[in-house]
Amino acid sequence: MTANQGASVLVVDDEEVILDVLGHLLGQRGGYDVHLATDGLEARQVIGRTPIDLVLLDLMLPGTDGLSLLRRFKSDDPDREVIMMTAHGSVETAVEAMKAGAFHYLTKPFQNDEVILLVETALTQRRLRQENAGLRRALAARHRSGRLVGRSSAMQDVYRVIEQVAAARTTVLITGESGTGKELTAEAVHKQGSHPDAPFVIVSSSNLPPELLESQLFGHLKGAFTGADRDRQGLFGVADGGTIFFDEISTIPAQVQAKLLRVIQEKEFLPLGSNKAVHVDVRILAATNEDLEASVRRGDFREDLYYRLNVVTVRLPALRARREDIPLLVEHFLERFRDEHGRQSLRLSPAALHELVRHDWPGNVRQLQNTIERMVLLANEDEIGVDLLPPEVSRGPAAGDSSGTLPEGLTFHEAVEGYERSMIRAALSESGGVQRRAAERLGMKPTTLSERMKRLGIR
């Protein structure tokens, strides 16, 4: 029994004897799920109703030629393997078929063992290619979603919610402290949704008076108010067919909240100065670092709007609650700013990384990003040391020192392993991957470093 047994194979040939022989050979001996077709139309009908992993395709068919079908099959599914068959084989047609995407070429009459071996090889290649692609996707998904970065369990939960809600057009409320990545989360929901190429419009309302915000959101007609010298389309009109993201939704004034509720409920709004409703298809995402339930209790935020927005909630963890992600984020920002500022030789010292990991980061990821860029700009040597850290980072209390408790969301062993892993990776990076030199930097024996690398899964 092979890993490919049960794979779906389609044989297309206008000779009944070939169909009988291959159907019996591949079904009985190979253990495949075999489908048969006598021409191109029948073959397309089979593929239309059944997923096909591999096609054995005759070059000469009534009504069409095999090469045309080959190109169509590969265009519909580039991952599907096709083996060409012909009694009129030549080097020219073989080369043409391979260029068009055929896996290989069979010349009639063929040997049964040759057919079985070729089919098994083609299916194995297809399976391995799919498995590798799946592993790459899984690895990428574990570390990031869109421009969000992190491998911690807290971020894995965020990625799962994004994946679950992205395809729907429902409203999503994104909560979290300032600097945790709420805008990036909204962008990830939009990009993974059903309209990724549609507009993604960001609304920041914190510094706008109600009248100006209304005009910005819903547009206005000429003469609607003093200074309205022409018609203007609002952001909802710009976002039609796509997504509109409200950053800090808690700052929306009460009179605008009522109009926003109408857009969510009725999919329409009135531009200022108009009595004709404008219909839009817009997905609404909103973010806040405030307690909206408390705002509702105070009467500052409409309860009905809150429940309309809070259909699905994505809660972003503070950086201090996912401390094991800090080395990954540092590496991400360091690579970005090295490229932007032409400092490819820059590296971070283990001592500097130690301070970055231990800091509580009240400004979260945004503060960490700004800190890394500052150090890249100020570095005069290839190694970024502790001396380039901002005072609040280098002299701030270690995580958990003030309370004597573990960082939120981490067990003791998770915190220790995350810190140990980050220190070893930094030492290896600065030592060019030479374990002996890395051990010296860490003050341990090479054998001890090797054992810890194995335990932590570091290559």
Within 262-323, strands assigned E span 268-269, 278-279, 283-288, 312-315
CATH number at residue 161: 3.40.50.300
| Residue 166 sits in the same domain as residue 93 | no
Domain that holds residue 325: 320-456
Q: Does a structural domain hold residue 220?
A: yes
Residue 324, C-beta contacts closer than 8 angstroms, at least 6 positions apart: 151, 152, 410, 414, 415, 417, 418, 419, 421, 422
* 287 and 333 both lie in a single domain: no
| CA gap 218, 221 in Å, rounded | 10
As for how many domains the chain has, the answer is 3
**Phi/psi of residue 287, each to 5°?**
-135, 155
Burial state string for 348-374 with b = 16 or more CB within 10 A and e = fewer than 16: bbbbbbbbbbbbbbebbbebbbebbbe
Let me know whether 290 and 334 are in one domain. Answer: no
Predicted TM-score (pTM) of the model is: 0.58
pLDDT digits (tens, 9 = 90+) for 157-184: 999 999 999 988 899 999 999 999 999 9
Q: Which of 115, 136, 157 is the last residue of a domain?
A: 136
Domain stops at, among 92, 107, 136: 136
Cα distance between residue 388 and residue 380, in whole Å: 10
CB 188 within 8 A of CB 145: yes
Non-local (6+) Cβ contacts of 76 within 8 A are 47
Whole-angstrom Cα distance, residue 180 to residue 29?
A: 58
| CATH assignment of the domain containing 120 | 3.40.50.2300
pLDDT in tens, 17-73: 999 999 999 998 889 999 999 999 999 999 988 899 999 999 888 888 888 899 888
Residues 6+ apart with CB under 8 A from 287: 173, 174, 175, 176, 182, 183, 185, 186, 245, 246, 247, 248, 249
Task: Report the chain (459 residues): mean pLDDT per 10 consecutive residues.
Answer: 81 93 92 93 91 92 86 85 80 76 86 91 85 59 71 89 90 95 95 91 82 88 80 92 93 91 92 89 94 92 94 94 90 90 87 90 94 92 89 62 45 65 76 79 79 78
Task: Give residue 342's region: left, alpha or beta (phi > 0; psi -120 to 50).
Answer: left
Using an 8 Å Cβ cutoff, are 158 and 148 in contact?
yes
